[in-house]
Amino acid sequence: MEIKKSEFVISSPTVQKCPADTKPEYAFIGRSNVGKSSLINMLCNHKNLAKTSATPGKTLLINHFIINNEWYLVDLPGYGYAKRSKTVQQQLSRMITSYILQRKQLINVFVLIDIRHEAQQNDREFIDWLGESSIPFAIVFTKADKLGAVKARQNVEAYMNALKDRWEELPPYFITSAEKRTGRDELLNYIDDINRSLDESR
């Protein structure tokens, strides 16, 4: 799939304020600083579509971007940024969970995991919660350029293997780098396949 057009639509503080539209949505979520906004920019061939920052906690609202006038990419705030006050963390957490549970147009969640790090408890809780809530999702490993190919592959295998303790069927996963544009075609093809199947079932 080619992205011919990508435009910022709106930043919303609650799911109720999200665009009144029925086009399919794909949301990006993960810990603060994992690279959600950078990945969206990479997919869209656009340097500054989604705001990125070297300091965590940049994205605080639900951000909708419309792609080819047909579907949306949604940039969500990161979870688990310890320097935020508990109140703000809880507010963000409520905003994210209500968006995920209530947004009917949400077709798939991409959970971003930094490929360099050991498995983190809050990512795992989030992944298990998505499963228990029957929300379709895929895992996206980010910042692959920061590791050699062998180490990257080892980390991914270890991560996916660890999921087997609770998961019989593993979710799809992608290895990406916003820096090197790795995984772009795979992610866009995945979205394109789903969009096509939605069109057919209409």
Interface residue list for ligand GTP (CB under 6 A):
32-38, 52-54, 56-59, 77-78, 142-143, 145-146, 177-179
Min separation Cβ 53 and ligand GTP, Å: 5
Among the listed residues 142, 134, 4, the one whose alpha carbon sits nearest the alpha carbon of residue 71: 4
Could you tell me the smallest distance in angstroms from the CB atom of residue 200 to ligand GTP? 33
State the Cα–Cα distance between residues 140 and 111, nearest whole angstrom: 6
| Complex with Mg ion: residue 50 or 67, whichever CB lies closer | 50
Picked from Mg ion, ligand GTP, none, the partner binding residue 145 (CB below 5 to 8 A depending on kind) is ligand GTP
All residues at 6 or more sequence positions from 79 whose CB lies less than 8 Å from its CB, including other chains:
29, 30, 31, 32, 89, 92, 93, 96, 122, 126
Q: Is 63 in the site for Mg ion (CB under 5 A)?
A: no
Candidates 8-16, 28-36, 128-136, 140-148: pick the segment binding Mg ion (CB under 5 A): 28-36
Q: Which is nearer to Mg ion, 59 or 142 (CB)?
A: 59
| Residue among 111, 56, 62 at smallest CA distance from 84 | 56
Residue 134's CB is within 10 A of a number of other CB atoms, namely 6
Q: Is 59 in the site for Mg ion (CB under 5 A)?
A: yes
- Residue 37, interface with Mg ion (CB under 5 A)? yes
Residue nearest to ligand GTP (CB): 78
* Chain mean position to CA 184: 13
DSSP string, 36-57: HHHHHHHHHT-SSSS---SSS-
Give the binding range for Mg ion (CB under 5 A) out of 2-10, 31-39, 174-182, 184-192: 31-39
How many residues sit in the footprint of Mg ion (CB under 5 A)?
A: 4
Q: Using CA atoms, how far apart are residues 57 and 27, in angstroms rounded to an integer?
A: 17
Distance CA 45, CA 9 (A): 17
Q: Distance between CA 33 and CA 25 in Å, rounded?
A: 22
Identity of the residue, 40 or 144, whose beta carbon is nearer to Mg ion in the bound complex = 40
**Which CB, 177 or 195, lies closer to ligand GTP?**
177
Judged by the rule CB under 5 A, the positions of this chain that interact with Mg ion are 36-37, 58-59
